[in-house]
Structure 1
Amino acid sequence: MERNVLHSSLISAVFNIIFQVLCRLLTFAINAFIVRNVGRDVLGIMNVRLLLLESTLLFLSREAFTRAGLSATTQQRDKCTWAQLINQMWLTVPTCIVICLPCVYIWLHMLTPVEEKFTAQYRFGCYAMAWSCVIELCAEAPNFVSQVFCFVRLRIVLSTFHILVRSAVFLWIVINDKSAAIHAFAMAQLISTITIIIGNYGFFYIYIKRFIQKNAIKDKYSKLDSNQYDAMSDFPFRKITDFLPGIMENQGKFLNSELQILTLSFVKQGVLKQILTEGEKYVMSISPVLSFSEQATYDVVNNLGSLAARFIFRPMEDSSYFFFTQTIARDVELHKQPRDNVLQAAKVLQNLSLAVTSIGLLALTFGQSYSHAVLLMYGGSDFVAGGLPELLLKWHCLAIFFLAINGITEGYMFATNTSKDIDKYNYLMAIFSISFLILSYILTSWLGPLGFIFANCINMFFRICYSIRYINHQYKPTGLKPLHGLLPGKSFIITLFLTGIFCKYSMYHSSTLFQHILYGFLSVVICVIVWTIENRELVKLGWRYGRRHISD
């Protein structure tokens, strides 16, 4: 399908940001309801223990297959057929089943036990999470196709509907029986996953049916304008059963051997990346360092502190990864690739680096003055009593800054390096993972939940250094320097410093909370205006690009 990859990536990022904002607001509202009405222990079991099981199963079962498949759609078109790609996506289901067996056993029998009154609900929750993951992966083939062919609105609508169904089921059960919160959480997850199956297959059933009917009309009435059919000219699926394994006509083997080698590289990398991503939750679950109440406190602060990461950084990372995989070939040196592609990739990387670094600095600056206000509005005075949540959120703002830079630089590296480079980096990831777990345990034993944040910052700092070294080495023969975007302008930095001091003063001398928040809002607006003026050429370019594609 003829498609503008950059345009699709940008639109996907924008819609994903909007979706993340809406869903996270809903999730925060539910978590606040649980903190105030059910208890922190229950929230810790659900948001730390059960969601960690879901994250582990889905990531280890899906990540490597999807990343390898996205690379194959661009750089192995002649070697890898769509039938092989569909078969590849269906491997996620048996992989998930195999992973479920030891994981569920570990979660039930080897991790820190829950209180006896929650045991029955917790057991049901573990089984429900495992089944929901298996069910969700049965729709991985159409989900992968929607990503490759840039069905952005489909993905956003289905994700939104999934979240709404899950939230509605959970609230309906909990409002009637607060003691069944964990059971409600598991049931909501299981029921809402079915919407993913129905939504994906239902959409493509209708989509393919309409396409076939149009082609039939075209064949019958050849004088009709054929341009209306061009959009689907290379869509390879002609019936809904083509999304099932072994059904689609295949000229080669059932699976592509080169694709499997690349997948294995991502598997090793995926395990290590999962440890780095969810390392603190693994430490909390395996060792009795923190109680479930303390785990819930850390999780709430972590979620609040990760607003920028979830709302902005993650969608940008996902869309930029897709763009870079479609623009830069993995196994060809950069200076030997088409110059236009390299220039476009470098420009996008530079602009993304500038954007995420600026956002990270905003979070770091204003987080020092508004952590208390945010937590007070979220959990009430009882939640902020003692000062621990506020301290955690302030330091988490530093982690946001590192997270912003690491997400883009490491994402670019993963999207463009070769299988050999991936294997080489896996050894370093193993060192990072082990070091992170050990450091987390030591620092947490010494500093409590704050140790997790320090361990994360140290770990991300070294990962950033490696990614920057890789990108500089890759672009050196081209003479391009996309990482200059990591250095915002002087005017923006000075404005941040002055407004940060002002807001810190306002924190102690404002007569009301509303006045303090108003000062902060005006300060952020001033910083954004200065940034816009300092980067007006980039803003004008983005504005022209957006207007052109909206009008199209």
Structure 2
Amino acid sequence: MSAVETRRSPRYSDFSGRGDGSQNPCRTGPPDAQVGPQEALKSASTLASYNLLLQVMFRVLTFLLNAFILRFVSKELIGVVNVRLTLLYSTLVFLSREAFRRACLSGGSGRGHNWRQVINLLWLTLPLGVLWGSMLVCVWLWLLEVPDPQSIPHYGPAVGLFALAAVQELLAEPLWVLAQAHMLVRLKVVAESSAMIAKCLLTVVLVVSAREWGLYIFSAAQLVYTGFLALCYVVYFLHFLGSEEANKKCFPLHSVGDLLPRRAEGEPVIDWTLARLTWSFFKQSFLKQILTEGERYVMTFLNVLSFGDQGVYDIVNNLGSMVARFIFLPIEESFYVFFVKVLERGRDVKSQKQEDVAIAAQVLECLLKLVLVIGMVITVFGYAYSYLALDIYGGSLLSSGAGPTLLRFYSSYVLLLAVNGITECFVFAAMSQEEVDQYNLVMLALSVSFLLLSYVLTWWAGAVGFIMANCLNMGLRILHSLVYIQRYFRLSPWRPLRGLLPSPVLLLALVLSAVVTALSEGVFCCDSGWLLRLVHIAVGAVCLLCVFATVLLTETELVRFVRTQLFPRYTKKSP
């Protein structure tokens, strides 16, 4: 749930579009007006812990599926599916709906939404998706290198089917926004989990029984996933509309006909202010997409890696980013809500409530310390256990080539990824609108530099060059955020950037762990049988326990923050 979902104005619940909310028993003011910093912190902490568990449960299934598939298909086929076709799907979906989601879930400065006009605007995602799909399919078929049909059959039909799956998912877009705006969280969890389970089951069955189908297997699985997702939303709203639960929630729609686009008498078809906001977000979407999928665009359009190398890189990238998806992303998203509620955007520290700023500074310092410690642990132990992890996960397909080197580099990149997530989380919550607009130019420069660096470094160092480019890009973003935070708190007594300074004892424990585990890998791993591998794992477990004990003894403030805020159910007292 994003911050904008909690800042709805009275007209959010007025489907008729009357701004005065007359005869509307559900008319309420913005809830944040009465929410204090402690309540906001509690909400953000609970949301972070809930999202953390949900992410883990959701991703474990995909992790196991990929480990299974690696035993049955070639790395070239994995490269085409996970890089080429997945990029087509994600690009089409992102460009078609991202701007609409961000605009339609924004309350605006005291201005709410007429849901009739919002639904009409959201249905524009479907023709826009068809348009984008037509153009992207032409690019994927005629401008990009076509894989060898002998080793990777059915590429052409697979491109069309993946585009069709993306358009199929857009059919549920108005329902998704309605569910998010009215906090129907359980619907999203059930729908996405059920769709993923259906996709995994079909993939496993087809990989085992019809391996000769090639790309048809993954195309069918993707169609099942998006179709199941849309079906869940449709079935839910067919049951929900007009029910007693909907009336209790003051839901603005009452019949299935209200979900379809149509014009209400005496008002424009869409809210043109909202449409202009959508256009602004749409322009930003290109920059965000380049930063998010930059490596795949370079691999796809510049042919710097073979399909096999692309497959290995994508698998390593997914493995390395698991911690970021499981831990860092839920924390970042949830505490962004906290910072937005506590801080007044665009105002300096002196002109805000000092109690609120103090709490925000303390939380930021603890969050920086938390992600820094996690990132350093991943970097230290990732070096000595990359080969073993890839060998267990994918066998010699991953561990025999450049895979271990890639994962070692990625372990260091995770540390930068963690710090950047929290620093930008605070910066985007505190920036004024003018500063956000200026940062868009910075993002443009970073996007261009990242693409250039990716091409040059990949030409020089192979797939490792992508991780090097990511590290340089992430370092520049962190530097920008650190300068902003330092300037923001310059005239105050708080110094939250001290969270980036771990205790010397902890640093010593990490250095010793790095040396011991590296020696253990050289002696016990990884071609000496499972018994010695287990010894290597045991050495790492002992070192990890020592690091954990050091954290408990030296980082007491961090431990208290984690116990009371991220896991409030397991503590008796809150701060």
Q: Which residue does 1:56 correspond to in 2?
A: 91
**What letter matches 1:406 in structure 2?**
N
**Contact 2:563–2:571 under 8 Å retained in 1:** no
131-140 or 479-488, which moves further after superposition?
479-488
Deviations 1:266-306 (A, max 9, x none): 32332112112211111111122211111111111111111
CA separation of 1:36 and 1:453: change in aligned 2, threshold 3 A: same
Paired residue for 1:307? 322
The equivalent of 1:189 in structure 2 is: 222
Find the partner of 2:512 among 483, 487, 498.
498
* Equivalent residues in 2 for 1:232-381, closer than 5 Å: 232=249, 235-246=251-262, 254-330=269-345, 335-337=350-352, 341-381=356-396
Query: Equivalents in 1 of 2:306, 2:382: separation in Å?
Result: 26
What is the CA-CA distance between 1:435 and the residue it aligns to?
1.3
Query: Which stretch shows the higher mean deviation, 192-201 or 48-57?
Result: 192-201
CA deviation map 1:432-483 (0-9, x unaligned): 1111111111111111111111111111111111122233334445554333
2:150 is aligned with 1:117: yes
- For the structure 1 residues 308 and 542, does the alpha-carbon distance in structure 2 shift closer, same or farther, using more than 3 Å as the test? closer
**Alpha carbons of 1:548 and 1:361: their partners in 2 closer, same or farther (altered >3 Å)?**
closer
| Separation of aligned partners in 2, 1:90 and 1:246 | 10
How far apart in 2 are the matches of 1:9 and 1:195? 31
Superposition RMSD on alpha carbons, in Å? Answer: 3.1
The correspondence for 2:60, drawn from 19, 22, 25, is 25
TM superposition score normalised by structure 2: 0.83
Q: Counterpart of 2:551 in structure 1: which amino acid?
A: W
Mapped pair 1:522 → 2:542: yes
Q: Distance in 2 between matches of 1:9 and 1:416?
A: 17
Alignment of 1:37-186 (within 5 A): 37-70=72-105, 72-73=106-107, 75-117=108-150, 121-186=154-219
TM-score scaled by length of structure 1: 0.86
SS at match of 1:116: coil
Question: Residues 145 and 528 from structure 1, CA distance in 2 versus in 1: closer, same or farther, beyond 3 angstroms?
Answer: farther
Aligned to 2:51: 16
More helix as a share of residues: 1
2-side partners of 1:89 and 1:341: how far apart? 37
Tell me, yes or no, if structure 1 residue 427 matches structure 2 residue 441.
yes
Provide Cα deviations, 1:156-199, integer angstroms capped at 9, x if missing partner: 22221121111111222222111213111111111111222222
For 2:113 and 2:164, the matched residues in 1 are separated by 31
Q: Which deviates more, 331-340 or 40-49? A: 331-340
Supply the distance in 2 between the matched residues of 1:85 and 1:317 (Cα, whole angstroms): 28
CA separation of 1:305 and 1:349: change in aligned 2, threshold 3 A = same
Q: Which amino acid aligns with 2:53?
A: I
Number of the residue aligned with 1:226: none
1:489/1:534 contact within 8 Å kept: yes
Q: Is the aligned partner of 1:513 residue 2:528?
A: no
* 8 A contact 2:517–2:540 mirrored in 1: yes
- Native 8 Å contact 1:492 1:527 kept in 2: yes
Q: 2:69, 2:207 within 8 Å by CA — same for their partners in 1?
A: no
CA distance in 2, matches of 1:533, 1:339: 31
Q: Supply the AA of the counterpart residue of 2:79.
A: G
Unaligned runs of 5+ in 1: 216-228
Alignment correspondent of 1:451: 465
- Which of 546, 556, 559 is the equivalent residue of 1:536? 556
Q: Which segment drifts farther, 36-45 or 410-419?
A: 410-419
Query: Does the Cα contact within 8 Å between 2:77 and 2:152 map onto a contact in 1?
Result: no
Query: Which deviates the most, 170-179 or 20-29?
Result: 20-29
The answer for the alignment partner of 1:224 in structure 2 is none
Is the contact between residue 201 and residue 240 of structure 1 (CA under 8 Å) also seen in structure 2? no
Of 420, 423, 437, the residue aligned with 2:451 is 437
**Deviation (angstroms), 1:149:** 4.0
Secondary structure at 2:66's aligned position in 1? helix
| Higher alpha-carbon deviation: 446-455 or 97-106 | 97-106
Query: 2: CA distance between counterparts of 1:279 and 1:335?
Result: 40
Whether the aligned pair in 2 keeps the contact of 1:414 and 1:422 (CA below 8 Å) is yes
- Residue in 2 that maps onto 1:223: none
What is the number of equivalent residue pairs in this alignment? Answer: 531
1:78/1:278 CA distance change after superposition, 3 Å: closer
Q: Give 1:498's aligned amino acid.
A: L
CA distance in 1 between partners of 2:125 and 2:333 (Å) = 20
- 2:403 corresponds to: 389
CA distance in 2, matches of 1:242, 1:179: 46
Deviation digits for residues 345-382 of structure 1, max 9, x if unmatched?
44443333222222111111111110111011112135
Structure 2 unaligned residues grouped into runs of 5+: 1-5, 7-30, 33-38, 525-530
Secondary structure of the residue that 1:112 maps to in structure 2? coil
